[in-house]
């Protein structure tokens, strides 16, 4: 059994109460996590606030070195952390699974270390000198979801500490273990209080809600659902917190008539089914031109039917179970409804426990629940279109705007169409391929602000302009 304590002010912090963590592949308990109280949260925030006094004064070179050291630590412990992610999240060790997640976490940490926000001289003439400085905010509260527990925690924490802030991180109640261990490891090299962690099961106490309203937290970086993101924004108003909100998506892919169905099938599949579809910027609706609709469906089915689904700890598994019962029930409900409206081309029947096979459904349209709602699971609806204007309008007809993609052999034509998609990122002949040097964020209801790159780093700072 995996048992970890909270880490506050660099030390283990025990709680009276704990909660059980379940392996979604087996339904068996794999460990337990601390059920923190509001007093524990206050202790963690106070520790981060104290640590901020010295940490904010560190030189840029020192902050860079510390961030690089964290990246190296993640690398040293990658296999141990990957195993924890597989146990609690369900994703396989292999494929685009937990080892890949840990590789990404280390790469992101390393890249973030190399970023910086030097002083900008806006004016320097006889009339005077004007400098723009980027200053750390204070305590950053990080609230993470259950789909990529380690990678998203790294996306939140590393830019925070790189810019001289301190952190209290709160993982999802479904996946607290790998993050608890990650914070333990990080604390072997960072000064006490720079990174603290609280976990809870969201039953008696909602730590995320308390963090969003906490007077000593200066910023919340939140990744999760649109509904919870809106609550964070409301609670944060009274203390005027800085916010980065990475929320849900309902990304559309559009396949043009000139695409080669066999050549794009693999990319389409992984665009939609990465992490079993439990990915914010996965493709969740696919619009395909009438001329090649049947050929694309066939190529997708051929590729998807060969994917091994099983317990993530088995080296041969490429996809695992759905992470939790609530998400499983949502996927099942949407698929059952879709059966009455369209045609299931592959999958469609729930397996044992939380397993659900890759499922492809054709014959749907905007207005059908599987098209309009974010399924966040291993199901892709394919929608036939004949006019590109109609496809663009249907793709944009969503309150969400995280990602989108265009699939075509004419890259220039695809680039022009990309600019008409109402979303924060658009890919051509791929989907969801985020990278640490490119700002990533949602438009419309998919969020506020961006992560990654200099623009993402800047969100962990306030501007101070000095006039002399
Ligand atoms: P969720 O919103 O249910 O939970 C996210 C986190 O918020 C958890 O840690 C939870 O404990 C916490 N929380 C619960 N109530 C809260 C409150 N009132 N105030 C503050 N925090 C609170 O989301 P989830 O089910 O864990 O994740 C799935 C969702 O996340 C999907 O909609 C998905 O699209 C989205 N997501 C978005 C991105 C992105 O970058 N845009 C990435 C991953 C997931």
Nearest ligand 1 atom, CA 451:
40
Please indicate, yes or no, whether residues 219 and 303 belong to a single structural domain of this protein: no
Q: Cα(327) to centroid of ligand 1, in Å?
A: 12
Q: What CATH code is carried by the domain that includes residue 457? A: 3.40.605.10
Cβ atoms of 177 and 205 closer than 8 Å: no
Question: Which DSSP helix (H) or strand (E) runs through 270?
Answer: helix 261-273
| Assigned domain for 130 exists | yes
pLDDT in tens, 292-349: 999 999 999 999 999 999 999 999 999 999 999 999 999 999 999 999 999 999 999 9
| Assigned domain for 331 exists | yes
Give, for ligand 1, the residue of 21, 145, 226, 452 to mutate: max count of ligand atoms closer than 8 Å to Cβ.
Answer: 145
Please indicate, yes or no, whether residues 137 and 66 belong to a single structural domain of this protein: yes
First to last CA, the chain: 61
The reported pLDDT for the residue numbered 311 is 98
Residue with CA at minimum distance from ligand 1 atom 39: 246
- CA–CA separation, 102 and 113 (whole Å): 17
| Assigned domain for 436 exists | no
The reported pLDDT for the residue numbered 368 is 98
Neighbour tally for 301: CB within 10 Å:
17
Please indicate, yes or no, whether residues 160 and 270 belong to a single structural domain of this protein: no
Please indicate, yes or no, whether residues 262 and 402 belong to a single structural domain of this protein: yes
| Assigned domain for 385 exists | yes
Tokens representing 87 are: 């146990």
Averaged confidence pLDDT in the chain:
98
Please indicate, yes or no, whether residues 174 and 304 belong to a single structural domain of this protein: no
Please indicate, yes or no, whether residues 46 and 188 belong to a single structural domain of this protein: yes
| Active-site residue set | 246, 280
Number of H helices, E strands in the chain: 15, 21
Tokens representing 262 are: 């066999």
Residue with CA at minimum distance from ligand 1 atom 10: 172
Total count of domains within the chain: 2
Give, for ligand 1, the residue of 143, 228, 272 to mutate: max count of ligand atoms closer than 8 Å to Cβ.
Answer: 228
The reported pLDDT for the residue numbered 131 is 98
| Assigned domain for 435 exists | no
Flag residues of the chain having pLDDT under 70.
Answer: none
Please indicate, yes or no, whether residues 264 and 400 belong to a single structural domain of this protein: yes
- CA–CA separation, 118 and 98 (whole Å): 35
- CA–CA separation, 26 and 321 (whole Å): 9
Closest of 348, 370, 359 to residue 285, by C-alpha: 370
Residue with CA at minimum distance from ligand 1 atom 13: 208
Ligand 1 surroundings by CB, under 6 angstroms: 143-147, 170, 172-173, 202, 206, 208-209, 212, 223-225, 228, 231-232, 246-249, 280, 374, 376, 402, 442, 447
Q: What CATH code is carried by the domain that includes residue 323? A: 3.40.309.10
Residue with CA at minimum distance from ligand 1 atom 20: 208
Please indicate, yes or no, whether residues 234 and 319 belong to a single structural domain of this protein: no
pLDDT in tens, 241-257: 999 999 999 999 999 99
The reported pLDDT for the residue numbered 243 is 98
Tokens representing 102 are: 């840990």
Residue with CA at minimum distance from ligand 1 atom 18: 209
| Assigned domain for 300 exists | yes
pLDDT in tens, 372-422: 999 999 999 999 999 999 999 999 999 999 999 999 999 999 999 999 999
Please indicate, yes or no, whether residues 236 and 295 belong to a single structural domain of this protein: no
Please indicate, yes or no, whether residues 269 and 195 belong to a single structural domain of this protein: no
Q: Which residues pair with 18 in a beta bridge?
A: 34
Neighbour tally for 94: CB within 10 Å:
18
| Assigned domain for 434 exists | no
Please indicate, yes or no, whether residues 400 and 449 belong to a single structural domain of this protein: no
| Assigned domain for 438 exists | no
Please indicate, yes or no, whether residues 159 and 193 belong to a single structural domain of this protein: yes
Query: Domain of 341?
Result: 251-428
SS3 422: coil
Nearest ligand 1 atom, CA 211:
20
């Amino acid at each position: 059994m995996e048992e970890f304590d909270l880490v506050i002010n660099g030390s283990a912090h025990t709680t009276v109460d704990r909660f059980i963590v379940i392996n979604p592949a087996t339904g068996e308990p794999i460990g337990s996590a601390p059920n923190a109280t509001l007093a524990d949260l206050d202790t963690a925030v106070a520790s981060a606030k104290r640590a901020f006094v010295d940490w904010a004064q560190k030189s840029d070179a020192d902050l860079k070195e510390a961030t690089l050291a964290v990246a190296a630590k993640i690398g040293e412990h990658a296999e141990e952390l990957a195993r924890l992610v597989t146990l609690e999240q369900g994703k396989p060790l292999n494929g685009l699974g937990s080892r890949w997640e840990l590789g990404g976490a280390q790469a992101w940490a390393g890249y973030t270390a190399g970023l910086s926000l030097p002083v900008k001289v806006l004016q320097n003439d006889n009339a005077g000198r004007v400098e723009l400085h980027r200053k750390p905010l204070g305590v950053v509260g990080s609230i993470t979801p259950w789909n990529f527990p380690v990678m998203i925690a790294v996306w939140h924490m590393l830019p925070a500490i790189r810019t001289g802030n301190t952190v209290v991180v709160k993982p999802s109640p479904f996946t607290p273990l790998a993050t608890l261990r990650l914070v333990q490891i990080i604390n072997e090299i960072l000064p006490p209080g720079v990174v603290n962690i609280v976990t809870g099961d969201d039953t008696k106490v909602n730590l995320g809600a308390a963090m969003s309203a906490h007077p000593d937290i200066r910023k919340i970086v939140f990744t999760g659902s649109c509904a919870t993101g809106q609550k964070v924004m409301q609670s944060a108003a009274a203390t005027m917190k800085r916010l980065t909100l990475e929320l849900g998506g309902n990304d559309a892919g559009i396949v043009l008539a000139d695409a080669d169905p066999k050549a794009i099938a693999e990319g389409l599949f992984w665009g939609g089914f990465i992490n079993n579809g439990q990915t914010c910027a996965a493709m969740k609706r696919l619009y395909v031109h009438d001329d090649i609709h049947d050929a694309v469906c066939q190529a997708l089915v051929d590729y998807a039917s060969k994917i091994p689904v099983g317990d993530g700890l088995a080296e041969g598994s490429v996809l695992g179970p759905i992470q939790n019962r609530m998400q499983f029930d949502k996927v099942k409900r949407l698929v059952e409804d879709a059966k009455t409206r369209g045609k299931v081309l592959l999958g469609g029947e729930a397996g044992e426990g939380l397993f659900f096979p890759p499922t492809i459904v054709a014959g749907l349209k905007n207005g059908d629940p599987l098209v309009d709602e974010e399924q966040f699971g291993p199901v892709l609806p394919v929608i036939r279109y004949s006019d590109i204007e109609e496809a663009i309008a249907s793709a944009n007809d969503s309150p969400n705007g995280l990602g989108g993609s265009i699939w075509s052999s004419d890259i220039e034509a695809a680039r022009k169409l990309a600019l008409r998609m109402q979303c924060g990122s658009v890919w051509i002949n791929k989907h969801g391929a985020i990278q640490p040097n490119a700002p990533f964020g949602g438009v419309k209801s998919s969020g506020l602000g961006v992560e990654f790159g200099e623009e993402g780093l800047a969100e962990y700072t306030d501007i101070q302009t000095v006039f002399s």
